[in-house]
């Protein structure tokens, strides 16, 4: 079993942390996911929830590093970030997609019995649902729950998906040629590149 990542791993710029999370595993609530796709966000980024400073909703993003920031979106889904950077500067890495490598039965109970293995955690809301995360997990300390990749995968980078601000910032990272990566979707209201 690979070593757990310590707090110092997360206490760096999320743009550096994000690609290094690929291939790592995250364990929570009886499910382990191998991360295949992530996106970096930080306070000086207009697409980040932390852009306007701390609020009741975003307080966790301002540190300490290594905690889970869980938010509710579109009135129906939870998504999760691993908090990164120095305390006081709102930053994190959105967990966009992964492969369930342990606890598939628990993930399937949460996601649906007929959901194909490939789609159990392929997309940020699906991943959070498979992991059993909701707002009650906001602020959970994830140090010890995230383990280093067995080997560093080939990583690609490109624009983040589904956002309208800073849509062309290439802070989305994914494992090359991995079937568990979600499809790229540019937000229809994002400015043309």
Q: For the chain, give the mean pLDDT.
A: 92
Given this model, what pLDDT does residue 51 score? 73
5-9, 82-86, 122-126, 168-172: which has the minimum mean pLDDT? 168-172
Cβ atoms of 109 and 115 closer than 8 Å? no
Could you tell me which residues are beta bridge partners of residue 80? 70
**Contact assessment for residue 51 and residue 119, using Cβ atoms and an 8 Å cutoff:** no
Tell me, what's the pLDDT at 193?
67
Find the mean pLDDT for residues 62-74. 91
DSSP 180: T
Task: Indicate the range of 14-23, 54-63, 93-102, 157-166 predicted with least confidence.
Answer: 157-166
pLDDT value, residue 165: 81
Q: Which candidate, 51, 121, 130, places its Cα nearest to that of 92?
A: 51
Q: State both tokens at 80.
A: 């999760």
Residues 6+ apart with CB under 8 A from 114: none
pLDDT value for 168: 81
Q: pLDDT value at position 1?
A: 62
- Higher per-residue pLDDT: 175 or 51: 175
- What local confidence, expressed as pLDDT, does residue 144 receive? 95
**Per-residue pLDDT band at 183 (split at 50, 70, 90):** confident
Question: What's the start-to-end Cα distance of the chain, in Å?
Answer: 43
Confidence band, pLDDT 50/70/90 cuts, at residue 19 = very high
Residue 64 has, within 13 A of its CA and on its CB side, a CA count of: 9
- Sequence-distant (6+) residues with CB within 8 A of 35 are 21, 22, 23, 24, 25, 26, 95, 97, 98
Cβ–Cβ < 8 Å for 81, 94: yes
Is pLDDT of 106 > 80?
yes
pLDDT in tens, 140-180: 999 999 999 999 999 999 888 877 787 788 889 999 999 99
Q: What angle do CA 85, 86, 88 make, to 5 degrees?
A: 115
Is domain 7-175 in CATH 3.10.300.10, yes or no? Answer: yes
């Amino acid at each position: 079993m690979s070593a757990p990542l310590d707090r110092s791993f997360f206490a760096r710029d999320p743009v550096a942390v994000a690609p290094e999370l690929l291939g790592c595993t995250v364990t929570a609530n009886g499910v382990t996911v191998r991360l295949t796709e992530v996106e970096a966000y930080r306070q000086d980024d207009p697409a980040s929830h932390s852009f306007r400073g701390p609020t009741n909703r975003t307080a966790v993003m301002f540190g300490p590093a290594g905690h889970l920031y869980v938010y509710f979106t579109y009135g129906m889904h939870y998504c999760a970030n691993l908090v990164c950077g120095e305390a006081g500067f709102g930053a994190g890495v959105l967990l966009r997609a992964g492969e369930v490598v342990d606890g598939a039965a628990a993930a399937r109970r949460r996601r649906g019995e007929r959901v194909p293995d490939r789609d159990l955690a392929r997309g940020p809301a699906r991943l959070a649902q498979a992991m059993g995360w909701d707002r009650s997990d906001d602020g959970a300390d994830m140090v010890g729950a995230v383990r280093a990749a067995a080997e560093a995968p080939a990583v690609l980078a490109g624009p983040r998906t589904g956002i309208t601000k800073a849509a062309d910032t290439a802070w989305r990272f994914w494992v090359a040629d991995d079937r568990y990566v979600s499809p790229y979707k540019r937000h229809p209201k994002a400015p043309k590149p």
